[in-house]
Structure 1
Amino acid sequence: MTDTENSLPAVDAPEVAAYWEERRRYLDQIRKVPEIRQRYWRALAAYLARRLLWSFGFFPVLLAFWIPFVMTSFNPVVLASELIPLLEAFVGSNPEVQANTQSSLLIAWASVGFFFLVFDFVLTPFRSPYEYEADVYMKAWEQLNHDRLPDKV
Structure 2
Amino acid sequence: MTADSTETASASPANTSSDAALPAADVAAYWAERRQYLERIRKVPEIRRRYLRASTIYLVRRILWSFGFFPVFLAFWLPLVMASFNPVVMVSELLPLLHDFVNANPEVQANTLSTLIIAWLSVGFFFLVFDLVLTPFKSPYQYEADVYMKAWEQLNHDKLPDKV
TM-score (norm. length: structure 2): 0.84
**Separation of aligned partners in 2, 1:67 and 1:11:** 59
Q: Which residue of 1 aligns with 2:119?
A: 108
Matched letter for residue 99 of structure 2: E
Q: Is the aligned partner of 1:140 residue 2:151?
A: yes
Q: Is the aligned partner of 1:127 residue 2:138?
A: yes
Deviations 1:4-61 (A, max 9, x none): 9x8xx62523222111111011111111111110000000000000100110000010
Q: Which runs of 5+ in 1 are unaligned?
A: none
**Separation of aligned partners in 2, 1:149 and 1:105:** 63
**Separation of aligned partners in 1, 2:65 and 2:131:** 9
Q: Is the aligned partner of 1:88 residue 2:106?
A: no
Q: How far off is 1:75 after superposition? A: 1.1
- Residue among 48, 51, 69 paired with 1:40: 51
Which stretch shifts more, 68-77 or 49-58? Answer: 68-77
Q: How far off is 1:117 after superposition? A: 0.4
Q: Which runs of 5+ in 2 are unaligned?
A: 1-8
Relative to its length, the structure with more helix (as a share) is: 2
Q: Which residue of 1 aligns with 2:110?
A: 99
**Separation of aligned partners in 1, 2:144 and 2:90:** 52
Largest Rg, 1 or 2: 2
Q: CA, structure 1 residues 105+149, in 2 after alignment: closer, same or farther (shift >3 Å)?
A: farther
Larger relative contact order (CA 8 Å, sep ≥ 6): 1
Q: Which residue of 1 aligns with 2:35?
A: 24
Report the aligned-residue RMSD.
1.9
Q: How far off is 1:71 after superposition? A: 1.0
**Separation of aligned partners in 1, 2:21 and 2:88:** 69
**Separation of aligned partners in 2, 1:130 and 1:11:** 30
Q: Which residue of 2 aligns with 1:15?
A: 26
